[in-house]
Structure 1
């Protein structure tokens, strides 16, 4: 841009001369940086992305720093990282321009999440044995000869002379960082009937989700190139026993409810805490449950009402919580019973679709109020069905289809089926 420059010069004799002219002036905009989003919440093991946007003069370089995995980046592009421990994290985006630096920060709240197949640990900064299953039903601490035979053909079984032809190696990487903290080899399979226990091997300094890598290598002693390797990555969840957010909690909803016998009731426990285990009890059908999901049960009797449904919760750090729900169980009100009379006019039979009427034997059925009964009229040999008849008050058939009559039993009912002979004789 163009700018006006004024130059003033004073001589030794105090005479002053002033010069003014227009000269190019380069004005640089101060650098800036903005982070989007400014705050967000993710779970452990879940990736988080921050977009750093530079402003002002074109940046010479950009960098991110956040302490996750990866911890840093030297790019101006969006930064994606992952945290395996809970807590409040800060990602800093820095812009370096020709006229100086600028930076912004994004706050990441990392909350705990327990993988569905995670093994729970309650200690931080202390060692804990590793007993997670690896391949089939056998844990890495208890891989026997039959498993070795299964994963590498020719190793034999415990009852086979070939059992001594293979060696087995156990390795454990506590954080999947490529370092095997546990490493042990048996020279032949028959010497390790109970495998190898990696006791006091893994130690973690913070709460959150970690991943172990367990590996079994079986090798033929006569042929080192004949190798079978089984590897499994296992999530574990480390719980801080001193963090109150990990403590168990429970709140039964509803806390009080009234139902009738044989009516299902559902109670939600609103379970909290890390790695909770739950047990419900209530005496209904079913009487108990070991799930943290809402509990559903049915009471077949009102005896002992009100009933108490109890939920006990234990978190991974050993804390416990309990809630109860009172269930008032009542018997349903008695149902009125009304008669339905089926009358034959002529020769034939009347039957009902539900037990009660088989006329000519039983021509009256007693039914609960609100029951729907379908009657069917069948003429005797030499007779034909003509029609259904009933008084308007009370009503009889609510609908008629051919030789069937549908009756809504909401009070005493009576209907007549009329039959006539197929041959009529006149009397003189």
Structure 2
């Protein structure tokens, strides 16, 4: 038995990009439905980054979904790069007149989810076997199983916001695909704990022990990472071993000592740079992690998804308002211009702050020289600050 339905835009995925797009379309009076293969608790259980550019915070404020972010988010006027015990502060407020907001991606997702019913944004969760059909026609559709019943949702457009492993990107024929990838030879071992941060601002550290990051989610919750080989397993790192390692790296350079506490979450995340340039295929448009992955260095993932969604929402709203196709035709080129600049920044900061196993003494001297130049160059600090707070839309 098939239960039919119809909407303006079928959105695949209820992560931040899908939810943001749904809210923007509903605010403009456009019918849309979000289809999510997981349960809400699973979506909200994913721990992700939490540094928000102005593009992201502006969208949340435009939608009126900013109360908790305003109350709990931390305004960051700068961040730090460390080479050994040399701490280089990048004063982003002074250099750009802007700031970033520390507010966890999980909290952004929660706020968007909780605001969905009031805006009439329908979210179908636990939809299994999602498949996209007739993408090159004027009548695309999505099928899925819900409670043992097959449903078919007809739409004018489909927005693929279902991440790297979702069905949307895989629905594009191989002959149409343009993709680029750089896989890094290490991962980030992370720990989240309810302990005060060791420093008032983020520290990206490059020491003889390897890369490490000290960050926070609030004044009482900290997030730390260290670089580990891809062969490492989470079982190799009992909590005390990781806390010992973090103390060795951050106690000499931070304002406060590393405070230890029970882990709320520990994981190892591989690093990659990935761009799927085919962001449009017929009536399907990709946004967010479905189209690109950046290393977490520089915190661009969620913010790139937000700029994708802004461009796509503007294009879809123009189409539904006046049948204007120009913005839809321009979406891919417009999004990719910002994506590649963000990829460049994340790649360059990753290269600068990590120890690559294939590198030798020459490459290490290049890192030292660049960090030394950076420490005394306002121009170079400004370039890094501009990229960190987010390039113009």
- TM-score, normalised via structure 1 length: 0.22
Q: Greater helix percent: which structure?
A: 2
More strand by share: 1
Bigger relative CO (Cα 8 Å, ≥ 6 apart): 2
